[in-house]
């Protein structure tokens, strides 16, 4: 018996289909997040669960009971909804609004009992609005008003709590405060929440439901659902997906770049290390260059970036010099590359060969790339690396600072054309 079970429902507004063949369920006591782009039907799905919108067909079951068989008051005793910030036209006090949560328990000819007052007090305490009880709902902040709506929902003593982007109008500290309250409630209450922010969803939800074009695209743990491929497919955008350093949950960051296509049919080899090349690996990849990189150590951040982007990368085990095998593969890459980029990385005995080998290709265009004016090549070889760099520069290697200038150089309208 599941607290909520959705079986193959369709919903439409007039002739317009909003949801199609949606099937899922929530486990008792979990937080289930609904995510997806605008217009994918998230809010409508929630409204179908609270019976505010009617479905065309399919079935919704609460604790094995058909949703349609429940009376209005009975439904309100099982399912509570926290809407997005609502405007309250009349000047009610916080306690008045929370007490409205008891409405489904109080008969038409009765008035609230001491027990109702007690439940309201407890709900206000849980939602952290007890000190506001006497205040007017017009005189409190948006974050406080949202907590009042949570208290009202709790006063309903529901088994299921539905949240419709209940925190998306709030700043991040209030979002976290409210979601922490919700998480503490889960266990006793089953929570189904629409999220706009994928990172909040990833952290607070036990499972996620990803909607795309009116249908369920994926369902599972945040780690299963929030993958780079799925996000790209659903949101049409490149995202970096990494484990959050403190929580271990997936953490997504948008890659704010357009695919320009400027680098089509051009090969670039990037010699980098210590994280100095990650930015341009992304940039060149996004601009459609064929990118190779190496030789790198497999603990290197740049190696992680290359793997993440799916770029061919020559790599060695940790704390290992460059082997002859890797060196010959590096030569292959260099021979087929149109341009070689060397980033402002630290150079030691372990990666000196990456530079030295460039001396064998005098005709190959070389760019020394620095992210900004503070980035420089640190020489840990006692001058050997410096000598190689001087030699390469004497042969015409360019120095370029900043990612924009690098791309401008490639597109031919920078100050140094002919990259």
Find the part of the chain contacting another protein (CB under 8 A) among 70-78, 179-187, 247-255, 385-393: 70-78
Among 1, 38, 64, 109, binds another protein (CB under 8 A): 109
Q: Please provide the distance, in angstroms rounded to a whole number, between the alpha carbons at the two ends of the chain.
A: 66
User: Nearest CA to 273 among 188, 177, 190, 385?
Assistant: 385
Give the shortest CB-281-to-another protein separation in angstroms.
Answer: 49
- Report the residue number, 47 or 214, with the smaller CB distance to another protein: 47
Interface residue with another protein, options 20, 96, 177, 353 (CB under 8 A): 96
Q: What is the CA radius of gyration of the chain?
A: 29
Place of tokens 């799916």: 310
- Tell me the C-alpha distance between 19 and 342, whole Å: 51
CA 401 to chain CA mean position, Å: 31
Q: Which of 28, 106, 130, 257 binds another protein (CB under 8 A)?
A: 106
In whole angstroms, what is the distance from residue 299 CA to residue 285 CA? 21
- When asked if residue 88 is in the footprint of another protein (CB under 8 A), the reply is yes
Q: Does 50 bind another protein (CB under 8 A)?
A: yes
Rule CB under 8 A: say whether 156 interacts with another protein.
yes
Query: Judged by CB under 8 A, does residue 80 bind another protein?
Result: yes
The reply on whether position 36 binds another protein by CB under 8 A is: no
**Window contacting another protein (CB under 8 A); options: 77-85, 267-275, 315-323, 328-336:** 77-85
**Cis-peptide into 295, omega within 30 deg:** yes
Q: Contact with another protein (CB under 8 A): which of 52, 172, 253, 298?
A: 52
Nearest to 81 by CA among 175, 168, 163, 196: 163
Integer CA distances (angstroms), 105 to 125, 213, 220, 256, in order: 20, 39, 36, 51
Q: With respect to another protein, which residue has the nearer C-beta, 109 or 256?
A: 109
115 makes contact with another protein (CB under 8 A) = no
Helix (H) or strand (E) holding 273: none
Site for another protein in 134-153 (CB under 8 A): 152
Closest distance between another protein and the C-beta of residue 117, in Å?
12
Angle of CA points 10, 201, 146, to nearest 5°: 90
- The residues that touch another protein, with contacts defined as CB under 8 A, are 47, 50-52, 72-77, 79-81, 83, 86, 88-93, 96-97, 100-101, 103-104, 106, 108-109, 111, 152, 156
């Amino acid at each position: 018996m599941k607290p909520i079970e959705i079986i193959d429902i369709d919903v439409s507004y007039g002739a317009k289909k909003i949801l199609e063949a949606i099937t899922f369920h929530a486990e008792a006591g979990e937080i289930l997040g609904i995510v997806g782009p605008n217009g994918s039907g998230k809010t409508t799905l929630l409204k179908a669960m609270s019976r505010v919108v009617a479905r065309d067909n399919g079935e919704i079951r609460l604790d094995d009971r058909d949703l349609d068989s429940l009376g209005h008051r009975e439904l309100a005793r099982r399912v509570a909804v926290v809407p997005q910030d609502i405007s309250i036209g009349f000047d009610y006090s916080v306690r008045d609004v929370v007490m409205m949560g008891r409405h489904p328990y109080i008969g038409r000819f009765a008035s609230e009992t001491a027990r109702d007052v007690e439940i309201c007090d407890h709900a206000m305490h849980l939602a952290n609005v007890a000190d506001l009880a006497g205040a007017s709902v017009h005189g409190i902040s948006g974050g406080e008003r949202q907590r009042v709506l949570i208290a009202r929902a709790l006063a309903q003593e529901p088994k299921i709590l539905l949240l419709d982007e209940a925190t998306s109008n709030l700043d991040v500290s209030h979002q976290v405060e409210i979601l922490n309250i919700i998480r503490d409630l889960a266990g006793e209450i089953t929570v189904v929440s629409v999220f706009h922010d994928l990172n909040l969803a990833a952290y607070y939800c036990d499972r996620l439901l990803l909607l795309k074009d009116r249908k369920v695209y994926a369902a599972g743990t945040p780690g299963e659902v929030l993958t780079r491929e799925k996000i790209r497919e659903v949101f049409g955008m490149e995202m970096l997906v990494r484990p959050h350093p403190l929580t271990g949950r997936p953490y997504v960051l948008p890659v704010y770049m357009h695919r320009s296509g400027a680098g089509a049919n051009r090969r670039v080899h990037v010699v980098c290390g210590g994280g100095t090349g990650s930015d341009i690996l992304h940039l060149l990849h996004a601009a459609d260059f064929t990118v190779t990189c190496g030789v790198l150590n497999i603990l290197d951040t740049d190696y992680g970036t290359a793997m993440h982007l799916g770029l061919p990368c020559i790599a060695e085990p940790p704390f290992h010099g460059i082997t002859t095998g890797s060196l010959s593969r590096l030569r292959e890459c260099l021979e087929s590359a149109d341009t070689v980029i060397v980033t402002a990385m630290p150079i030691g005995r372990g990666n000196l060969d990456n530079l030295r080998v460039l001396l064998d290709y005098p005709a190959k265009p070389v760019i020394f790339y620095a992210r900004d004016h503070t980035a420089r090549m640190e020489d840990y070889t006692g001058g050997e690396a410096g000598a190689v760099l001087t030699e390469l520069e004497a042969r015409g290697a360019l120095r370029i600072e900043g990612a924009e200038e690098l791309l401008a150089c490639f597109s031919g309208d920078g100050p140094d054309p002919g990259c």
